[in-house]
Amino acid sequence: MSTSASPLAHHDVALRQRVIAEFVGTLILGAIVVGSGIAVAQMYAAGTLANFNECIVITVLGLFVLISTFGPISGAHFNPIVTLAAAWNKRLDWADALPYISAQIVGCTLGCVLANVLFGKPAIFLATTPRASTSHVVSEVVATAGLILVVFTLTRANIVQRGRFVVPAYIGVACFFTSSTCFANPAVTIARMFSNTASGIAPASVLPFLVAQMVGGVIGVAVAALLTPHAHKEFQ
């Protein structure tokens, strides 16, 4: 589970402020994803669909809050794929992409570590849950492509204000129709490697997920460009 919002280049906000916003927002996102999984698992003795539903609802609500809060500052990318796609579409300077991505990865990882600590777990303990099956990898391609398509179709149509509603809704839906439960975010994928909980992903599964997410990102950008061929020039 993961996310993003409006990938606009907020040139009126200093880069330092935007990077801090990405760091804090992604830290909270990591804590939400892992912390909700631990909390729900502790409340119920066995894993059930109800447990999964609760985690999805918590994540969707958390995304809405984070996008609403940090969107006006940094664009609330919270996702390296969104940041790279924004730079490719000239909605973010390439020079700003690396600070954004670094903040996202470090922030999300610390968020997962924080969640471990908040629930009395070791701060860092590598996950052992394998996820790199064919169905999971294909699911990550589909989930990421869909996310990028949603984000950039809204952006190119100049209705990014809807992102705070549409993006969390898409993530919630994609968690159900993909077997991977829609990681769709390299920062979240790397971070969840450090929590051996229901939300974790074994280190050996991380690289296949990252490759699938990159492929999905390229597909999403390409489809968005086909659907709105003139929007790129209109809204630069």
- 230 compared with 72, residue with greater pLDDT: 72
Which of 68, 30, 76 minimizes the C-alpha distance to 200?
A: 30
Joined tokens for residue 63: 């995304």
> For residue 1, is pLDDT > 60?
no
pLDDT in tens, 136-173: 999 999 999 999 999 999 887 667 778 899 999 999 99
pLDDT in tens, 99-145: 999 999 999 999 999 999 999 999 999 999 999 999 999 999 999 99
Kindly report the CATH number that applies to the domain delimited by 15-234.
1.20.1080.10
Band of pLDDT at residue 204, cut at 50, 70 and 90:
very high
Scanning the chain, the segments in alpha helix (DSSP H) are 15-43, 49-74, 80-88, 94-118, 134-156, 163-177, 186-192, 203-227, 231-234
Phi-psi category of 36—alpha, beta or left, where left has phi over 0 and alpha has psi -120 to 50?
alpha
- 51 compared with 123, residue with greater pLDDT: 123
Domain extent listing, the chain: 15-234
* Residue type, position 38, single letter: I
Sequence-distant (6+) residues with CB within 8 A of 11 are none
Q: Report the pLDDT value the prediction gives residue 162, as an integer from 0 to 100.
A: 85
Q: Report the 10 Å Cβ neighbour count for 136.
A: 20
- State the DSSP string of 112-157: HHHHHHHTT--S-B-------SHHHHHHHHHHHHHHHHHHHHHHHT
User: What are the beta bridge partners of residue 125?
Assistant: 195
pLDDT in tens, 170-184: 999 999 999 999 999
> For residue 232, is pLDDT > 50?
no
> For residue 40, is pLDDT > 80?
yes
What percent of the chain shows pLDDT beyond 70?
Answer: 88
Q: Could you give the C-alpha distances from 138 to 37, 86, 149, 177, in angstroms and in order?
A: 23, 23, 16, 12
Environment class of residue 213 by beta-carbon count within 10 Å: exposed (0-12), middle (13-18) or buried (19+)? buried
Residue 171, CB-side half-sphere exposure with 13 Å CA sphere:
27
Q: Report the 10 Å Cβ neighbour count for 137.
A: 19
Q: Report the pLDDT value the prediction gives residue 203, as an integer from 0 to 100.
A: 98
CA dist., res. 180 & res. 143, Å (int): 9
CA dist., res. 24 & res. 33, Å (int): 14
Across the chain, what does the average pLDDT equal? 90
CA dist., res. 63 & res. 55, Å (int): 12
Which three-class secondary structure state does DSSP give residue 2?
coil
Give the mean model confidence (pLDDT) for residues 62-70.
Answer: 97
* Residue type, position 89, single letter: N
Which three-class secondary structure state does DSSP give residue 160?
helix
